[in-house]
Amino acid sequence: MSSSSSSESGKLSNLPQLHRFVTGHNSSGKAIVETDNDFQWKPYDDQNMAFSVVYTTSSMPADLNNDKDLSTHNDLMAAGKLGLVNPSGSVIRCVDFKPGYSCAMHRTQSLDYGIVLEGEIEMLLDSGEKHQMKRGDVAVQRATQHQWRNKSDTEWARMMFVLQDIKPLTVEGKEMKEDLGFHGDLPPSGN
């Protein structure tokens, strides 16, 4: 097992540090924890939000034989080229939003489950719809143009996202492509 201290994690918010446990099997086929470590955070958009990629898969269904998923995840993270979506796979990512912060309006080519873990967050859609989400609420984002806003002046908000690659989406003859808004420090997903 490996472990790291939260002082090395890059966390920006005052929210509790989260911890990841990755299971596997010993030589007898019994379940074990292969790794456990604090979430590692990376700041974005002038330190107004921070991402922690918990895990990725690069195929669906995922191949766990001979720990292929572990080595593929580790190689992808070491390469530093992961966009918001992992083509042909999935990403689970935790995001902390600074008080008063709104991210850019954006669209991913993915089916996303976004769960509010801490605080409250407003989901804005390009149609003008606004929906206030509180702890435990879930957004199922289906490749739509959207934005997240932490309306609190004092409290950080945290969401957990699971993003899954999708087939190209066409609406009324128009292909709905990835649009990262002004997130220039994020690479394109390439899907």
Up-side HSE of residue 99: CA atoms within 13 Å toward CB? Answer: 8
Q: How confident is the model at residue 183 (pLDDT cuts 50, 70, 90)?
A: low
Cα separation, 78 vs 72, in Å, equals 10
Query: DSSP secondary-structure letter at 185?
Result: T
Mean pLDDT within 161-183: 91
Q: Which residues contact 111 (CB under 8 A, 6 or more apart)?
A: 140, 141, 142, 143, 163, 164, 166
Domains of the chain: 41-175 (2.60.120.10)
The pLDDT value given to residue 1: 41
Alpha-carbon torsion (60, 140, 147, 95), positive or negative: negative
Q: How confident is the model at residue 4 (pLDDT cuts 50, 70, 90)?
A: very low
pTM of the full structure: 0.92
Cα separation, 55 vs 44, in Å, equals 19
